[in-house]
Amino acid sequence: MKKFDFNKDWICRSLDREEREYPVTLPHDAMIREPRTAESRGAGNIGWYTGGDYEYKKCFYVPEEENGKTFILEFEGVYHNAEVYINGEKAGFRPYGYTNFYINIGKYLKYGEKNEIRVIARNSDQPNSRWYPGTGIYRPVVLYTGEKMYIPVNGIRIRTVSSFPAVVEICVKTSCPGTVDVEIFKDGKSILSDTAWAEKDEAVFRMEISDAALWNCETPELYTCQVHFGDDIVEENFGIRELKWDRANGLTINGNRVILRGACIHHDNGLLGACAFPEAEERKIRILKENGYNAVRSAHYPCSKALLNACDKLGMLVMDEYVDVWYIHKTAYDYAGEMLKWYQEDLKDMVEKDYNHPSVIMYSTGNEVSETAQKKGIHLTAEMTRLLHELDGTRPVTCGINIFFNFLSSIGFGVYSDEKAKKTAENVEKNSLPKKKNEPSKKRKTVGSEFYNTLACMMGDRFMKWGATLYPCDLKTRDAFANMDIAGYNYGIDRYGHDLKKYPDRLILGTETFCKDAYTFYEAAKENPGIIGDFVWAGWDYIGETGEGCAEYSDYNFNGERPETQMTGGNGRIDLLGKPRAEAAFTRVAFDLEKGPRIAVWPVYQKENLHITGWQLTKALESWSWRDCAGMDAKIEVYARAHSVELLLNGICIGKKKIPKKSCRVIFRTVYGDGELTAVSYDKAGKEIGRQTLRTAEKDTILKLMPETETIKPEGLIFLPLQYTDKQGIWKPMEKHRLTVKVENGSLEGLGSANAYKEGNYTDPVTDTYYGEAMAIIRAGSRGTVKIIVSDEENTYITEVSVEEPIYG
């Protein structure tokens, strides 16, 4: 079918607040502009946004001569309980906020005159999510049209039969019998073609591609399949990659074993909210890939098509996950009430979205669903695995099971009830009222995954991993694990060795893990093909799921009596702006992608003792610029794969340590002094194998504006990191400023810092820096030059980005 962009000329308005309607281009997230308040019923789970319902309207014209064609609208994502009306008639409804869905709108259209589409996105039913969901039509909308002879939406399926020789099977659905022509292109050049007659509205091709360039993480080679049927022309990109999995060889791509070095990611794009802009999705994947990850888990719902396209292009593997809840609620108004009615349709749509993408290597049916400890849930596990095999027999199926929580829930801990939900709502309301001095806040009643997370923060990650080794945990997971291809262990690394021996056919995947376990995991996986990979929580920081608040020093923590300043959990190896934290450097060394050494320093001037949760490894920064701190105690971390590490300050040895066994991290304590801090790593023979130096910045200070691209496509996104440095470009993390941003020939889409605490919104034109850094994201105009003006208390800084000439035709 012919495909048309349906994203422009929409009008959005709130259905809850007296606000003017305003024009929008999709994708659009209405929630990111909402007030953040202590009265939020979604509380810290959704970043203290209020939540609300919104109406989207668009008028469009359909010529009289189009009567008789097929018209299908695809909504890639509407959060949530989406209602679609065409010319006043209800044409569709979809409750799940993370699935793409289709509506045949032909019978509702008026030909030769104006038509109106209205979409209602509901999100006032709080609480309904454990993280920031966004609200509205946050992913693109596409209009498909077809004449009598057309290829239906998702009507082309391409799979690799074998990689040696390279053979692909192409199945083409058609609206009627007829001749189908297929042509294969590589880098724009035609390399192969074939013709077949579509019997019973389907044609099947099996084609061998000589000297094929195979798709894998290192060389993500893509081909284009172009299919002609009548006047209809449809193109699909694909990669040639053969996927296998078994206990003897682990997970293999084209015959080579691959250990998944994975990152769990949420769908939001930080300062941009939930909008699935292609540039933001690709940037996220590129930065994760640059930091050593070769796989992402779409936690905890199907990812966008834009993200899949980026993964195909950049060589990032994907575990596409279905849902966070089955039939037991985790919040009062989540998807649990609808899941059993809709899961078959949801899974079908997810598979059709994913099928031709070589990056997708696995499906997950859920996350921390304690139903897997029950007879009904064990049966549902098997049913969803069977359905996914029926829809797609080329990929394995897993489910992320929190092993310890399965046991705890089976004896009554952390289980949802309406009474607990009511109590939580009452406590949120009470906490929003003025308090007497020293009056404590009322505790929220946590259930499900949030119960486990709260317990982990109280007891520590070691206790939770120990809990997963208890015998009842095996009893409450083994039957569900038997009903999937790969057993998904959330925080169960201490079980790996035992379970590999007890279950000789089991494949284990760490579907959710702590950052500090990266080295332990990778060393075990290298020796055991039964361990196929690991997905750290989290690869990238995200809005919401703040818990009791991120561990943060008081000068950056606005919390106190104002919980509504909690914005993120601060749990990403990559911060909210896309900057790798020191934890990312640790991870690259742990994964043996770098030998190190890499240096990170806890902020020298900070004297508070922070309680770091299991989801954070450190608060150290990769900087030695702590002027005016001479003589203060300094805590320094060094990450290296070596026998020992020596630390030098201005050429003088201040310490030398052996790196502990089963680790790549060593900690030094010394006294700060300006100058050069150098770490030198040695092998057992005392031979130097690596070194790194951090230097103190000079006294001069400037704000460095660093657009990530020199030019930008018309109406494209400009990502502009802002960093205080000296004139040599050395970062100055002690600088604290308030920045104001103005834009000419463009619009400011987002502004903020990586601080887990935020006053106001990312849509505000003002932000405070966090350790001397912030970021602005700008939507460029259609031509000319974008001018960005950034001011602090004393100075104004300007940068310009040229808009590329549009390409027509």
Q: For 424-454, what is each residue's pLDDT tens digit?
A: 656 655 655 555 544 545 555 676 667 767 7
At residue 770, the pLDDT reads 98
Q: Which of 78, 74, 73, 76 has the alpha carbon at shortest distance from 30?
A: 78
DSSP 440-503: PPPPP---HHHHHHHHHHHH-HHHHHHHTTSHHHHHTTHHHHTTSSSEEEES-GGGHHHHHHH-
What gap in Å lies between CA 9 and CA 24, rounded to an integer? Answer: 7
Residues of the chain above pLDDT 70, percent: 95
At residue 428, the pLDDT reads 56
Q: Which residues have a Cβ under 8 Å from the Cβ of 768 and sit 6 or more positions away?
A: 736, 737, 738, 739, 753, 755, 759, 774
At residue 420, the pLDDT reads 67
- Tokens standing for residue 85: 């009306």
For 146-181, what is each residue's pLDDT tens digit? Answer: 999 999 999 999 999 999 999 999 999 999 999 999
At residue 462, the pLDDT reads 87
Q: Which residues have a Cβ under 8 Å from the Cβ of 536 and sit 6 or more positions away?
A: 262, 263, 264, 512, 513, 514, 515, 518, 573, 587
Instruction: Using pLDDT thresholds of 50, 70 and 90, give the confidence band for residue 414.
Output: confident
For 744-794, what is each residue's pLDDT tens digit? Answer: 999 999 999 999 999 999 999 999 999 999 999 999 999 999 999 999 999
Instruction: Using pLDDT thresholds of 50, 70 and 90, give the confidence band for residue 325.
Output: very high
DSSP 680-704: EEE-TTS-EEEEEEEE---S--EEE
| Cβ atoms of residues 632 and 672 within 8 Å | yes
254: pLDDT strictly greater than 50: yes
At residue 419, the pLDDT reads 72
**Whole-model pTM?**
0.96
For the ranges 59-73, 361-375, 795-809, the lowest mean pLDDT is seen at: 795-809
What gap in Å lies between CA 628 and CA 29, rounded to an integer? Answer: 44
Number of CB atoms found within 10 A of residue 517's CB: 21
- Residue whose structure tokens are 């084209």: 254
Q: Per-residue pLDDT averaged across 480-489, rounded?
A: 98
Q: Which residues have a Cβ under 8 Å from the Cβ of 188 and sit 6 or more positions away?
A: none
Mean pLDDT for the chain? 94
Q: Which of 123, 136, 128, 131 has the alpha carbon at shortest distance from 52?
A: 123
421: pLDDT strictly greater than 70: no
Q: Which residues have a Cβ under 8 Å from the Cβ of 303 and sit 6 or more positions away?
A: 267, 296, 318, 320
At residue 437, the pLDDT reads 46
272: pLDDT strictly greater than 90: yes
Give the count of alpha carbons within 13 A of 43, CB side only. Answer: 26
Radius of gyration of the chain (CA): 27
267: pLDDT strictly greater than 60: yes
Torsion angle in degrees (nearest 10) through CA of 73, 74, 79, 80 = 60
Q: How far is CA 404 from the centre of its chain?
A: 25
339: pLDDT strictly greater than 50: yes
Q: Per-residue pLDDT averaged across 504-522, rounded?
A: 97
Q: Per-residue pLDDT averaged across 90-110, rounded?
A: 97
3 state SS of 228: strand
632: pLDDT strictly greater than 90: yes
711: pLDDT strictly greater than 80: yes
| Cβ atoms of residues 409 and 326 within 8 Å | no
Secondary-structure breakdown of the chain: helix, strand, coil percentages, each rounded to the nearest 5:
20, 35, 45
At residue 809, the pLDDT reads 54
At residue 718, the pLDDT reads 98
Strands (E), 631-765: 633-639, 644-649, 652-658, 665-671, 676-682, 688-695, 702-705, 711-712, 717-725, 738-744, 746-752
For 559-611, what is each residue's pLDDT tens digit? Answer: 566 889 999 999 999 999 999 999 999 999 999 999 999 999 999 999 888 88
Query: How do beta strands 202-208 and 178-186 pair?
Result: unpaired
